Structure 1
Amino acid sequence: MQPQYSQKEDKYEEEIKILTDKLKEAETRAEFAERSVAKLEKTIDDLEDELYSQKLKYKAISEELDNALNDMTSM
């Protein structure tokens, strides 16, 4: 009877080890994914800031061009 319990215990210990390894692997992947998401969110923020800046520049240039055209037509 005792060897059978020992075999089951060994089997369960091996299963626990496998599951623990899988858990560590999953946690590592999750941490990497979280870092990747954070980097992507920062990239999005940077791109949104750059887009806003470029829109302001475009508006200023458009106004300057409109003023120049108005000056030319009023001569």
Structure 2
Amino acid sequence: MCRKASDLRPGKREDTHGLDGRQRPGLLQAHPEPSTAESELIAQLDLPLNLDQNRNHAFHQHLSALRAFARARARELPSAC
């Protein structure tokens, strides 16, 4: 379920749905400095798809090369516009 940021309230309990479609309770937490919180979380977790703040991950170089190849290939394709 998609929500607008204006719909989110600190500490409000929300029902979320997992990939299997089952409903799970969740708790939304507002943070005064979300970019700081994001950096702290990324530093603590193993997130190989986050290239921006994860340059030391073993998968970084491989994924960067794959994304560069995909961008180059997309540029070769005819435009839909």
Q: TM-score, normalised by structure 2?
A: 0.26
Higher strand share: 2
Higher helix share: 1
Structure of larger gyration radius = 1
Q: TM-score, normalised by structure 1?
A: 0.28
Higher relative contact order (CA 8 A, sep 6+): 2
